[in-house]
Structure 1
Amino acid sequence: MYISNVETAKQAPSLKFVTLADQHLGTDGALTLLWWSWKNGALIPGFAEYTPKERKAIAIRLFETDMVPGILQHPEYGSAYESAIVRRGEATKAQAEERLSLLAVRQRKLDQPAAIHAVLDEGVLHRPIGGPIVMTKQLSHLERLSERPNVLLQVAPYRLAEDRPLSHAVTLLTLPNRTMVGYTETLQRGYLEQDAETVAGWAGKYDRLQVDALSRADSLAVIREVRKELETHG
């Protein structure tokens, strides 16, 4: 009866139902993302427009100033962040759990051939979200991810100071037709930017940031050093 009601649009599907349908049909999270586009009350406005683009992207470039980007988060790191939002009364426990479920679907992108390039401000490595133990796991997770051939991690060191080309977190997606879109957020909402000239300007700043950031090897060394410091003194 439940399945019949869903098929005839008499009853809205639950997230659990959609997740099981994804698994049974082998659609690799596509149905879950469509569900989120329809029911996005737990998401910041604008983010539901971004997730389908992310799923299709053949290349993802990320810059983050405050925390590890969602797609690269260790489960305990993401859970600690969401728990804090619930404690502050800014979301319900159910909303937090829904966002973590979506995050798990998005992270399947790591197992696809898409190229993922992330530049992290050095401060991201030192902000102990979840405490020293969780942060140690997160840094170890970044070390493991950096070993994947499709993942490139760089650190933007403190010494860039005012010369850091980007001051806000930015995501650039290259789509299968080679067009590029951008995404960024304010406190109130997210913005999917599709204007070619604007996105090209963001991409130019990202290219400069990539050049100014530490090399892949030096970035990994910094991540490992911070992790060892936490293990010793955290």
Structure 2
Amino acid sequence: MHGERPSSAPSTVLGRQLGDELRTMRERAGLTTAVVAVELDCTKGKISRIENGRSPVRGPDLTAMLRLYGVDEQAVQARLAELARTANKRRRGSGWWSEYGDVLADTYRDFIELEAAASSVRTFQSQMIPALLQTPDYARALTVAGRRWKKPEEIEQFVTVRLIRQNRLTAEDPLSVWVVLAEGALRQQVGGQDVMKAQLDHLARSADMPNVTVQVVPFRVGAHASMAGPYVILGFPSEAAMDVVLLDNPSGSMWLEGVKEVEAYQGLWDDVRTKALSPVESLELINSIKEFGA
């Protein structure tokens, strides 16, 4: 894909999300960066760096900006303050995932951080069940097969991280997850028949959750645009915040943040979800494969 340059390690993605919202609020208030800089007693460059996600936003500055922009809704103030804290923690290398730094790549830590701030996940997977819906045994079998970690304790740490991530599905403000799977992902015998049967059972139960949608693209659909590989689209609470796309491969992960790239994958997503079976038909297929095997 061509267009704006993708980011391979978006340590400032959360900062950019916050900056985008602050820029929108400033423009809505009819203020220039020069005016804001005077009010905050700083340079125009600092305001620009904040809006581009390149500089952290201190609590007093955020409070002053929101007051200047006429944003008095407490819920909005609290959400942006939490977003700023999360972005600043990433810059300082903190967060619960930092406890597992020995087994997590930088891009995976970035992904976990973004997932924590996201309101929705849309993903197409061609070969495996996505991490948020994996059982421990299935996740363990994938981790062993990946051959990146040899020590049992490292493998268990990686599996633990995946299970902790799943807490977002049952949190007070649960993550909305929409999964489209190629039929092959249901039939690949990861971990053997018993592990796979338990995984399909878990997938079927997860599909009954109000915030989880599961669809399957059956083999009979034939060729479709998403066959080039799996992807994840993260969405965020604010309408002004940009979606982010993650592409994963054995040599590493790539983030796409440019408008053209993201729109292209949104188009792929719309195409594949319309070609997939309905959630009800998908559940019937999952249960059929679980009962009668591949």
Aligned to 2:32: none
Aligned to 2:162: 103
The answer as to 2:208 corresponding to 1:147 is: yes
The answer as to 2:267 corresponding to 1:204 is: yes
CA distance in structure 1 between the partners assigned to 2:100 and 2:238 by the alignment = 28
Structure 1 residues 205 and 216, CA, compared in 2 at 3 Å: closer, same or farther?
same
Q: Counterpart of 2:159 in structure 1: which amino acid? A: L
Q: 1:142 Cα deviation (Å)?
A: 0.8
Query: CA RMSD of the aligned region, Å?
Result: 2.3
> How many percent identity over aligned positions?
28
Q: Counterpart of 1:176 in structure 2: which amino acid? A: P
The equivalent position to 1:217 in structure 2, one of 272, 277, 280, is 280
Q: Using structure 2 for the length normalisation, give the TM-score.
A: 0.63
> Which range moved further: 158-167 or 169-178?
158-167
What secondary structure sits across from 2:254 in the alignment? strand
Greater than 4 Å deviation, 4+ residue runs:
30-33
Q: Using structure 1 for the length normalisation, give the TM-score.
A: 0.78
The answer as to 2:128 corresponding to 1:64 is: no
What secondary structure sits across from 2:226 in the alignment? coil
CA distance in structure 1 between the partners assigned to 2:106 and 2:252 by the alignment = 5
Equivalent pair of 2:149/2:155 in contact (CA under 8 Å): no
Unaligned runs of 5+ residues in structure 1 are: 1-29
Q: Counterpart of 2:292 in structure 1: which amino acid? A: E
CA distance in structure 2 between the partners assigned to 1:89 and 1:175 by the alignment = 31
Aligned to 2:42: none
Structure 1 residues 38 and 145, CA, compared in 2 at 3 Å: closer, same or farther?
closer
The answer as to 2:101 corresponding to 1:40 is: yes
CA distance in structure 1 between the partners assigned to 2:104 and 2:283 by the alignment = 32
Aligned to 1:193: 256
Unaligned runs of 5+ residues in structure 2 are: 1-85
CA distance in structure 2 between the partners assigned to 1:34 and 1:196 by the alignment = 29
- How many residue pairs match? The answer is 200
Aligned to 2:153: 94
- Give 1:171-186 correspondences, 5 Å limit: 171-178=232-239, 179-186=242-249
Q: 1:167 Cα deviation (Å)?
A: 1.9
- Give 1:148-167 correspondences, 5 Å limit: 148-167=209-228
Cα deviation per residue 1:154-213 (whole Å; 9 max; x = unaligned)? 001112322243421100010122321111112111122221221111011101111011
The answer as to 2:182 corresponding to 1:130 is: no
Q: 1:42 Cα deviation (Å)?
A: 1.6
Equivalent pair of 2:181/2:216 in contact (CA under 8 Å): yes
Q: 1:37 Cα deviation (Å)?
A: 4.8
